[in-house]
Amino acid sequence: MTQEMQANLIFNPKGDDDVAKRTIINWNSTGLFQLNAVKYNWAKSLYQVMIGNFWVPEKVKGLWDDAVCFHNELSEEERRAYKGILSFLIFLDSIQTINLPNFNDFITAPEVNLILSIQAYQEAIHSQSYATMLETIVDSKERNEIYYFWRDDKHLLERNEFIGQIYQDFIDDPSEKNFFRWVIWNFLLESIYFYNWFAFFDTLASQSKMVATDRMINYIRRDELTHVTIFANIIREIQKEFPHIYDEKMIYDMMDTAVNQEVKWSKHILGKGIVGMGHENIENYTKWLANERLNMLGLKPLYTDVVSNPYKHLELMQENNSEKGNFFESTVTNYAQSSAMNGSWDF
Protein backbone atom coordinates (compact mmCIF):
# COMPACT_ATOMS: atom_id res chain seq x y z
CA MET A 1 0.00 0.00 0.00
CA THR A 2 1.46 3.36 -1.04
CA GLN A 3 1.58 6.41 1.20
CA GLU A 4 -0.44 9.58 0.82
CA MET A 5 1.36 12.45 -0.90
CA GLN A 6 1.56 15.84 0.81
CA ALA A 7 1.46 19.11 -1.12
CA ASN A 8 4.30 21.55 -0.53
CA LEU A 9 3.93 24.13 2.21
CA ILE A 10 3.89 27.70 0.92
CA PHE A 11 6.78 28.49 3.27
CA ASN A 12 8.54 25.92 5.39
CA PRO A 13 11.24 27.53 7.61
CA LYS A 14 12.19 24.09 8.95
CA GLY A 15 12.87 22.78 5.45
CA ASP A 16 16.23 21.76 4.02
CA ASP A 17 17.45 23.06 0.64
CA ASP A 18 20.67 21.04 0.60
CA VAL A 19 21.10 19.99 -3.04
CA ALA A 20 22.80 16.75 -2.06
CA LYS A 21 19.66 15.66 -0.21
CA ARG A 22 17.08 17.07 -2.64
CA THR A 23 14.64 14.71 -4.36
CA ILE A 24 12.18 15.51 -7.09
CA ILE A 25 9.16 14.72 -4.88
CA ASN A 26 8.55 14.00 -1.18
CA TRP A 27 11.31 16.34 0.02
CA ASN A 28 11.10 18.75 2.95
CA SER A 29 12.09 21.92 1.10
CA THR A 30 11.74 25.48 2.38
CA GLY A 31 9.72 26.60 -0.63
CA LEU A 32 12.41 29.11 -1.55
CA PHE A 33 13.42 29.29 -5.21
CA GLN A 34 17.14 28.78 -4.57
CA LEU A 35 18.24 28.51 -8.19
CA ASN A 36 21.98 28.98 -7.73
CA ALA A 37 22.23 25.44 -6.38
CA VAL A 38 20.68 23.02 -8.87
CA LYS A 39 20.52 19.24 -8.76
CA TYR A 40 18.59 18.51 -11.97
CA ASN A 41 20.72 20.04 -14.71
CA TRP A 42 18.28 18.88 -17.40
CA ALA A 43 15.75 21.34 -15.94
CA LYS A 44 18.23 24.20 -16.27
CA SER A 45 18.89 23.29 -19.87
CA LEU A 46 15.18 23.00 -20.63
CA TYR A 47 14.60 26.41 -19.04
CA GLN A 48 16.87 27.99 -21.63
CA VAL A 49 15.15 26.17 -24.50
CA MET A 50 11.68 27.12 -23.26
CA ILE A 51 12.55 30.79 -22.77
CA GLY A 52 14.16 30.84 -26.20
CA ASN A 53 10.93 29.45 -27.68
CA PHE A 54 8.88 32.46 -26.56
CA TRP A 55 6.20 33.44 -29.07
CA VAL A 56 2.71 34.93 -29.27
CA PRO A 57 -0.13 34.17 -31.72
CA GLU A 58 0.17 37.63 -33.27
CA LYS A 59 3.51 36.49 -34.71
CA VAL A 60 1.67 34.21 -37.16
CA LYS A 61 0.48 35.94 -40.33
CA GLY A 62 -1.89 34.74 -43.03
CA LEU A 63 -4.85 33.49 -41.00
CA TRP A 64 -7.23 35.50 -43.21
CA ASP A 65 -6.00 33.42 -46.15
CA ASP A 66 -6.88 30.34 -44.12
CA ALA A 67 -10.40 31.70 -43.62
CA VAL A 68 -10.87 31.78 -47.40
CA CYS A 69 -9.38 28.31 -47.72
CA PHE A 70 -11.56 26.90 -44.93
CA HIS A 71 -14.79 28.02 -46.57
CA ASN A 72 -13.89 27.57 -50.23
CA GLU A 73 -11.25 24.85 -50.59
CA LEU A 74 -11.64 22.30 -47.80
CA SER A 75 -13.98 19.39 -48.33
CA GLU A 76 -16.86 18.87 -45.93
CA GLU A 77 -14.93 15.99 -44.34
CA GLU A 78 -11.83 18.16 -43.91
CA ARG A 79 -13.88 20.95 -42.31
CA ARG A 80 -15.48 18.48 -39.89
CA ALA A 81 -12.05 17.08 -38.98
CA TYR A 82 -10.66 20.61 -38.53
CA LYS A 83 -13.45 21.48 -36.10
CA GLY A 84 -13.28 18.26 -34.09
CA ILE A 85 -9.50 18.26 -33.88
CA LEU A 86 -9.39 21.89 -32.82
CA SER A 87 -11.98 21.14 -30.13
CA PHE A 88 -9.82 18.33 -28.72
CA LEU A 89 -6.68 20.50 -28.78
CA ILE A 90 -8.56 23.25 -26.96
CA PHE A 91 -9.58 20.75 -24.29
CA LEU A 92 -6.07 19.34 -23.88
CA ASP A 93 -4.42 22.73 -23.43
CA SER A 94 -7.26 23.93 -21.19
CA ILE A 95 -6.97 20.99 -18.84
CA GLN A 96 -3.17 21.27 -18.74
CA THR A 97 -3.33 24.97 -17.86
CA ILE A 98 -5.54 24.04 -14.89
CA ASN A 99 -3.75 20.80 -14.02
CA LEU A 100 -0.11 21.88 -13.97
CA PRO A 101 -0.25 24.20 -10.93
CA ASN A 102 -1.83 21.32 -8.96
CA PHE A 103 0.92 18.98 -10.14
CA ASN A 104 3.62 21.51 -9.35
CA ASP A 105 2.48 21.57 -5.70
CA PHE A 106 4.02 18.10 -5.27
CA ILE A 107 7.38 18.74 -6.99
CA THR A 108 10.08 19.56 -4.43
CA ALA A 109 12.89 20.78 -6.70
CA PRO A 110 12.71 24.53 -7.47
CA GLU A 111 14.43 24.19 -10.83
CA VAL A 112 11.67 21.77 -11.91
CA ASN A 113 8.97 24.00 -10.36
CA LEU A 114 10.31 26.78 -12.56
CA ILE A 115 9.98 24.98 -15.89
CA LEU A 116 6.55 23.57 -14.98
CA SER A 117 5.42 27.16 -14.37
CA ILE A 118 6.71 28.11 -17.82
CA GLN A 119 4.88 25.12 -19.27
CA ALA A 120 1.60 26.29 -17.70
CA TYR A 121 2.16 29.71 -19.27
CA GLN A 122 2.81 28.13 -22.65
CA GLU A 123 -0.39 26.06 -22.41
CA ALA A 124 -2.30 29.30 -21.82
CA ILE A 125 -0.63 30.82 -24.91
CA HIS A 126 -1.78 27.79 -26.90
CA SER A 127 -5.35 28.42 -25.74
CA GLN A 128 -5.03 32.02 -26.85
CA SER A 129 -3.75 30.75 -30.21
CA TYR A 130 -6.82 28.59 -30.75
CA ALA A 131 -9.03 31.58 -29.86
CA THR A 132 -7.17 33.68 -32.44
CA MET A 133 -7.67 30.98 -35.07
CA LEU A 134 -11.39 30.71 -34.30
CA GLU A 135 -11.88 34.46 -34.35
CA THR A 136 -10.23 34.76 -37.75
CA ILE A 137 -11.04 31.58 -39.64
CA VAL A 138 -14.55 30.40 -38.75
CA ASP A 139 -17.88 32.16 -38.55
CA SER A 140 -18.99 33.36 -35.12
CA LYS A 141 -21.85 30.85 -35.06
CA GLU A 142 -19.32 28.02 -35.49
CA ARG A 143 -17.10 28.97 -32.55
CA ASN A 144 -19.30 27.50 -29.85
CA GLU A 145 -19.82 24.44 -32.04
CA ILE A 146 -16.05 23.90 -31.95
CA TYR A 147 -15.55 24.69 -28.26
CA TYR A 148 -18.37 22.32 -27.30
CA PHE A 149 -17.95 19.74 -30.05
CA TRP A 150 -17.90 17.06 -27.32
CA ARG A 151 -21.53 17.77 -26.45
CA ASP A 152 -22.61 16.25 -29.75
CA ASP A 153 -19.78 13.75 -30.25
CA LYS A 154 -19.88 10.93 -27.71
CA HIS A 155 -16.44 9.69 -28.75
CA LEU A 156 -14.82 13.00 -27.84
CA LEU A 157 -16.85 13.30 -24.64
CA GLU A 158 -15.62 9.86 -23.52
CA ARG A 159 -12.02 10.88 -24.19
CA ASN A 160 -12.31 14.16 -22.33
CA GLU A 161 -14.02 12.51 -19.35
CA PHE A 162 -11.39 9.75 -19.19
CA ILE A 163 -8.50 12.22 -19.14
CA GLY A 164 -10.16 14.50 -16.63
CA GLN A 165 -10.97 11.60 -14.30
CA ILE A 166 -7.36 10.43 -14.08
CA TYR A 167 -6.33 13.89 -12.91
CA GLN A 168 -9.33 14.09 -10.58
CA ASP A 169 -8.52 10.67 -9.05
CA PHE A 170 -5.31 12.03 -7.56
CA ILE A 171 -7.00 15.18 -6.27
CA ASP A 172 -9.58 12.97 -4.53
CA ASP A 173 -7.08 10.34 -3.35
CA PRO A 174 -3.47 11.68 -3.32
CA SER A 175 -1.73 8.34 -2.92
CA GLU A 176 1.73 7.68 -4.36
CA LYS A 177 0.19 5.18 -6.79
CA ASN A 178 -2.29 7.76 -8.08
CA PHE A 179 0.50 10.32 -8.27
CA PHE A 180 2.63 8.11 -10.50
CA ARG A 181 -0.45 7.42 -12.62
CA TRP A 182 -0.88 11.21 -12.83
CA VAL A 183 2.73 11.64 -13.95
CA ILE A 184 2.40 8.98 -16.65
CA TRP A 185 -0.80 10.50 -17.97
CA ASN A 186 0.80 13.93 -18.23
CA PHE A 187 3.55 12.30 -20.26
CA LEU A 188 1.06 10.48 -22.48
CA LEU A 189 -1.12 13.53 -22.99
CA GLU A 190 1.87 15.61 -24.07
CA SER A 191 3.57 12.89 -26.11
CA ILE A 192 0.77 10.95 -27.83
CA TYR A 193 -2.50 12.87 -27.90
CA PHE A 194 -1.40 15.94 -29.85
CA TYR A 195 0.52 14.34 -32.67
CA ASN A 196 -2.06 12.83 -35.01
CA TRP A 197 -3.61 16.28 -35.02
CA PHE A 198 -0.32 17.95 -35.78
CA ALA A 199 0.00 15.43 -38.61
CA PHE A 200 -3.45 16.43 -39.90
CA PHE A 201 -2.51 20.11 -40.15
CA ASP A 202 0.86 19.21 -41.72
CA THR A 203 -0.98 17.07 -44.26
CA LEU A 204 -3.26 19.94 -45.22
CA ALA A 205 -0.27 22.30 -45.49
CA SER A 206 1.56 19.83 -47.72
CA GLN A 207 -1.36 20.36 -50.13
CA SER A 208 -1.12 24.18 -49.72
CA LYS A 209 -4.21 24.27 -47.50
CA MET A 210 -4.52 26.06 -44.13
CA VAL A 211 -0.85 27.03 -44.25
CA ALA A 212 -1.05 29.70 -41.52
CA THR A 213 -2.83 27.28 -39.19
CA ASP A 214 0.00 24.82 -39.69
CA ARG A 215 2.51 27.58 -38.97
CA MET A 216 0.74 28.22 -35.65
CA ILE A 217 0.73 24.50 -34.94
CA ASN A 218 4.48 24.36 -35.58
CA TYR A 219 5.06 26.83 -32.74
CA ILE A 220 2.76 24.81 -30.48
CA ARG A 221 4.50 21.55 -31.41
CA ARG A 222 7.89 23.07 -30.61
CA ASP A 223 6.62 23.85 -27.10
CA GLU A 224 5.06 20.42 -26.71
CA LEU A 225 8.36 18.67 -27.34
CA THR A 226 9.84 20.41 -24.31
CA HIS A 227 6.77 19.36 -22.28
CA VAL A 228 7.24 15.75 -23.32
CA THR A 229 10.87 16.00 -22.27
CA ILE A 230 9.98 17.45 -18.85
CA PHE A 231 7.76 14.52 -17.95
CA ALA A 232 10.11 11.93 -19.41
CA ASN A 233 12.81 13.25 -17.09
CA ILE A 234 10.46 13.35 -14.09
CA ILE A 235 9.58 9.70 -14.67
CA ARG A 236 13.26 8.76 -14.92
CA GLU A 237 14.05 10.62 -11.69
CA ILE A 238 11.22 8.87 -9.85
CA GLN A 239 12.57 5.55 -11.12
CA LYS A 240 15.99 6.37 -9.60
CA GLU A 241 14.88 8.00 -6.36
CA PHE A 242 11.62 6.20 -5.57
CA PRO A 243 11.73 2.71 -7.08
CA HIS A 244 8.81 1.61 -4.90
CA ILE A 245 6.60 4.16 -6.69
CA TYR A 246 7.90 3.47 -10.20
CA ASP A 247 5.71 0.91 -12.00
CA GLU A 248 6.86 -0.20 -15.44
CA LYS A 249 3.78 -2.33 -16.04
CA MET A 250 1.58 0.68 -15.37
CA ILE A 251 3.50 2.65 -18.01
CA TYR A 252 2.98 -0.06 -20.63
CA ASP A 253 -0.70 -0.57 -19.72
CA MET A 254 -1.46 3.15 -19.81
CA MET A 255 0.47 3.59 -23.06
CA ASP A 256 -1.58 0.83 -24.69
CA THR A 257 -4.80 2.44 -23.45
CA ALA A 258 -3.71 5.83 -24.81
CA VAL A 259 -2.79 4.37 -28.20
CA ASN A 260 -6.08 2.48 -28.52
CA GLN A 261 -8.06 5.60 -27.61
CA GLU A 262 -6.08 7.73 -30.03
CA VAL A 263 -6.45 5.30 -32.92
CA LYS A 264 -10.20 4.85 -32.32
CA TRP A 265 -10.99 8.56 -32.19
CA SER A 266 -8.59 9.45 -35.02
CA LYS A 267 -10.35 7.02 -37.34
CA HIS A 268 -13.69 8.41 -36.23
CA ILE A 269 -12.94 12.11 -36.70
CA LEU A 270 -10.79 11.79 -39.82
CA GLY A 271 -13.06 9.33 -41.56
CA LYS A 272 -11.67 7.91 -44.79
CA GLY A 273 -11.54 11.01 -46.93
CA ILE A 274 -8.40 12.78 -45.70
CA VAL A 275 -5.70 12.35 -48.34
CA GLY A 276 -2.53 10.85 -46.85
CA MET A 277 -4.14 9.84 -43.54
CA GLY A 278 -5.73 6.46 -44.17
CA HIS A 279 -6.69 4.26 -41.25
CA GLU A 280 -3.63 2.01 -41.61
CA ASN A 281 -1.30 5.01 -41.51
CA ILE A 282 -3.10 6.42 -38.46
CA GLU A 283 -2.66 3.18 -36.53
CA ASN A 284 0.94 2.60 -37.57
CA TYR A 285 1.93 6.19 -36.86
CA THR A 286 0.40 6.14 -33.38
CA LYS A 287 2.10 2.85 -32.52
CA TRP A 288 5.42 4.01 -33.97
CA LEU A 289 5.19 7.18 -31.93
CA ALA A 290 4.41 5.16 -28.77
CA ASN A 291 7.57 3.12 -29.32
CA GLU A 292 9.56 6.35 -29.69
CA ARG A 293 8.13 7.69 -26.45
CA LEU A 294 8.92 4.49 -24.57
CA ASN A 295 12.47 4.76 -25.86
CA MET A 296 12.69 8.19 -24.19
CA LEU A 297 12.03 6.36 -20.91
CA GLY A 298 14.65 3.72 -21.64
CA LEU A 299 11.96 1.10 -22.26
CA LYS A 300 11.57 -1.48 -25.00
CA PRO A 301 8.98 -0.95 -27.76
CA LEU A 302 5.42 -2.08 -27.14
CA TYR A 303 4.56 -2.62 -30.80
CA THR A 304 7.47 -4.58 -32.22
CA ASP A 305 5.87 -4.97 -35.66
CA VAL A 306 5.94 -1.20 -36.26
CA VAL A 307 9.46 0.05 -36.93
CA SER A 308 9.11 3.19 -39.05
CA ASN A 309 7.09 6.37 -39.35
CA PRO A 310 4.56 6.04 -42.20
CA TYR A 311 4.36 9.84 -42.65
CA LYS A 312 7.62 10.37 -44.48
CA HIS A 313 6.33 13.55 -46.11
CA LEU A 314 5.82 15.05 -42.66
CA GLU A 315 9.39 14.29 -41.64
CA LEU A 316 10.57 16.23 -44.68
CA MET A 317 8.39 19.19 -43.72
CA GLN A 318 9.87 19.17 -40.24
CA GLU A 319 13.41 19.11 -41.57
CA ASN A 320 12.65 22.13 -43.75
CA ASN A 321 11.19 24.13 -40.87
CA SER A 322 13.82 26.69 -39.91
CA GLU A 323 12.18 27.35 -36.52
CA LYS A 324 13.22 24.03 -35.02
CA GLY A 325 15.22 20.87 -35.43
CA ASN A 326 13.73 17.62 -36.62
CA PHE A 327 11.20 16.54 -34.01
CA PHE A 328 11.39 12.90 -35.02
CA GLU A 329 15.06 12.67 -34.12
CA SER A 330 14.71 14.37 -30.73
CA THR A 331 15.02 12.40 -27.50
CA VAL A 332 15.14 13.10 -23.81
CA THR A 333 18.94 13.36 -23.92
CA ASN A 334 18.91 16.33 -26.30
CA TYR A 335 18.03 18.53 -23.33
CA ALA A 336 20.47 17.15 -20.79
CA GLN A 337 23.68 18.79 -21.97
CA SER A 338 24.10 21.46 -19.28
CA SER A 339 27.13 20.25 -17.32
CA ALA A 340 29.29 23.08 -18.72
CA MET A 341 26.88 25.85 -17.75
CA ASN A 342 28.38 26.31 -14.26
CA GLY A 343 25.32 27.63 -12.49
CA SER A 344 24.36 30.45 -14.87
CA TRP A 345 20.75 30.64 -16.05
CA ASP A 346 21.58 33.23 -18.69
CA PHE A 347 22.03 32.61 -22.40
Q: Annotated catalytic sites, by residue? A: 130
Q: Which of 288, 96, 278, 257 is nearest to 195 (CA)?
A: 288
Nearest 5 degrees, angle CA 297-CA 303-CA 306? 110
134, 57 contact by CB (below 8 A)? no
CA distances from 141 to 63, 78, 144, 148 (A): 18, 18, 7, 12
Q: Where are the alpha helices (DSSP H) in the chain?
A: 41-52, 63-72, 76-104, 110-137, 140-147, 154-172, 176-188, 195-206, 211-241, 248-270, 279-296, 312-319
Q: Which of 299, 282, 86 is nearest to 187 (CA)?
A: 299
Q: Which of 160, 189, 159 is nearest to 265 (CA)?
A: 159
How far is it, in rounded angstroms, from Cα 196 to Cα 316?
Answer: 16
